Amino acid sequence: MRIAVSIAKSLAGLFALAMLAGLAWLWISPPDLIRLGSSYAAKIICSNALLAGRDPDEVLTLDVQAPGHPLLKLMQAEVEEDEARVRAALLGVFGSGYAVFREGMGCASIPEEDFELAGQRAVNRPPGIANPSLWPVGDRVEPAPGAAVASVVNDPLLTGPGMRAVVIVRNGRIIAESYGPGFTHDMPLLGWSMTKAVNAAIAGTVAADGRLSVDDGNLFPAWSEDGRADITLGHLLGMESGLAFNEYYGGVTDVTRMLYLEPDMAAFAADKPLLHPPGMHFAYSSGSSILAARVWQNAIGDAEAALEWPYRMLFAPLGMDTAVLETDAHGTFAGSSYLYASARDWARFGLLLLREGVWQGRRILPEGWVEWMRTPTEASGGEYGRGIWLHGPRINEPPDSDPDAGFELPEDAYWLIGHDGQTMTIVPSLRLIVLRMGLTPTRLGYKPQALVEAVVKALDVSEGGGTVTGP
């Protein structure tokens, strides 16, 4: 009996030592997966709380823990409002990740506690001016008469689980809109990869100023000695650069490391080797979008002028007063993922595309630029242009499938698509925009194509197949 007790005590002691060693390891050198989870949690809470004005505890519960990796359910966070930063960690202790808020630049992930890396910079944004005019010039909305479209945007089966905003634009006016609980028409919402189309448009404003061309090569000094010198801005925007980049989001991969563990996203992406000749292979890559942003920022030259550029040249002219395009710690715009804007402001950008780059009689984008954005590249097999998809999202479907099969959609419809259910569908023939935003993981199987189909049918019913007028 004594021997058994002695063995049990020894085993308990060994177990305790192992636990202490494990905890010490987690404290001193946490695995990258834990650091990734912490940094992700800190970044999402920072942006949604300090930029969008949401309750941080709600963001932790709804946006971080509920839909994500099981590891994220163990994350705890604290917001230091006086310091404008957020810390998150596993169980509140291990693998701390940090994010810092900068006015006009949003939140950036910060390695360790190197807060000075992000500096104290702020972007001077043109002030928004209250305007009682009808949207899009002002923010007054007069819904269309009749119940057909209104019934669509208020049908949870069509708007989908986790819907946060649906806005329908027809003939240049918002005719119907709907918002999820706790969300409003002026709350900034994350577009995720819909940002890629905005990034392409901003590049267009720089091209309009004569500072760059989509055919420019030799984009970075480190590329001058190998095949990467042949990569052009057009290749980057079209996802056909040929650079190696792992876009899988299920663990520590190129895209997740870049977005949450690398303070200089562009340097990380630029260091990737060439796998295919530029222009010959399509591979969706947020790294390419980050590099494209760095290219147009470099073309502007002055760093501060580059940080102000999207606001002066795109957002302010369109009246997108809520829009904030976030940067990393080194000041590169996250043109792949991180534009926050209200649903109405996102719809304003869609209207710019619908109007072929012209806003209230003023040309914002070069003539033909929007057409170029929505023209599919050969390498993509007709699927992708520059920030724009020629079909709706694939939801749990094989890559070679037709995601629009079974839906009656206009042939000229094109899409902006972002993570977790962000979509904007633009139909030039109907002068129609259907914007849907939310938090809807793909595992839920929601297809926004059904919403677009229902809107088109509702318009046909309510208007009796009437003619389209104006933009």
Do residues 436 and 327 share a domain?
yes
How crowded is residue 7: how many other Cβ atoms within 10 Å of its Cβ? Answer: 10
Q: pLDDT tens, 177-207?
A: 999 999 999 999 999 999 999 999 999 999 9
Residue corresponding to tokens 């004569």 = 210
- The pLDDT, as a whole number, for residue 30 is 63
Burial of 303 (0-12, 13-18, 19+ CB in 10 A): exposed
DSSP string, 214-236: TT----SGGGTTSGGGG--HHHH
- 135 located within any domain: no
CA–CA dist 417, 193 (Å, integer): 6
3-state secondary structure of 135: coil
Instruction: State the pLDDT at residue 4.
Output: 53
414 in any annotated domain: yes
Model confidence pLDDT, tens digit, residues 224-238: 999 999 999 999 999
| Distance of alpha carbon 459 from alpha carbon 145, whole angstroms | 11
In a domain, 72, yes or no: yes
Answer whether residue 5 is part of any domain.
Answer: no
| pLDDT over threshold 90, residue 455 | yes
User: Can you give the pLDDT at residue 40?
Assistant: 96
For the stretch 238-256, pLDDT in tens is 999 999 999 998 889 999 9
| Model pLDDT for residues 5-25, shown as the tens digit of each residue | 555 455 444 444 433 333 343
Residue 375 has pLDDT above 50, yes or no: yes
Three-class DSSP category at 221: helix
Residues 87 and 229 reside in one and the same domain:
no
- In which band, very low, low, confident or very high, does the pLDDT at 319 lie, cut at 50, 70 and 90? very high
DSSP 8-state secondary structure symbol assigned to residue 211:
S
Contact 109, 99 (CB under 8 A): yes
Are 424 and 307 found together in one domain?
yes
Do 360 and 239 lie in one domain? The reply is: yes
Q: Given a cut of 70, is residue 44 above it in pLDDT?
A: yes
Residue 150 phi/psi, 5-degree rounding, is -60, -40
**pLDDT score of 237:** 98
* 126 pLDDT tier (thresholds 50, 70, 90): confident
Q: Residue 430 has what DSSP assignment?
A: G
Q: How far apart, in whole angstroms, are the C-alpha atoms of residue 329 and residue 99? A: 9
Centre a 10 Å sphere on the Cβ of residue 402 and count the other Cβ atoms it contains.
11
**Same domain membership, residue 170 and residue 39:** no
Residue 14 lies in a domain: no
Question: What pLDDT, on a 0 to 100 scale, did the predictor assign at position 26?
Answer: 41
Instruction: Check whether residue 101 and residue 189 sit in a common domain.
Output: no
57 with 158, same domain: the answer is: no
Backbone angles phi, psi at 8, to 5 degrees: -60, -45
Indicate the residue type of 379. A
pLDDT averaged over every residue in the chain: 91
pLDDT-derived band at 3 (thresholds 50, 70, 90) equals low
Say if residue 105 is in the same domain as residue 152. no
**341-354 mean pLDDT:** 98
**Domain contains 273:** yes
Residue 236 CA to residue 232 CA, distance in Å, equals: 7
Containing structural domain, residue 91: 32-111
Let me know the angle formed at the C-alpha of 193 by 177 and 215, rounded to the nearest 5 degrees.
125
Residue 425 lies in a domain: yes
Residue 18, in any domain of the structure: no
Tell me: do 44 and 188 sit in the same domain.
no
Contact (Cβ atoms closer than 8 angstroms) between residue 199 and residue 293: yes
Which residue among 64, 86, 111 closes a domain? 111
**What CATH number should be reported for the domain holding residue 179?**
3.40.710.10
- Other Cβ atoms within 10 Å of 316 Cβ, number: 18
**What's CA 245's distance to the chain center, in Å?**
18
**Tally of domains in the chain:** 2
Give the pLDDT confidence score for residue 463 in this predicted structure: 65
Is 298 exposed, middle or buried, given 0-12, 13-18 or 19+ CB atoms closer than 10 A? middle
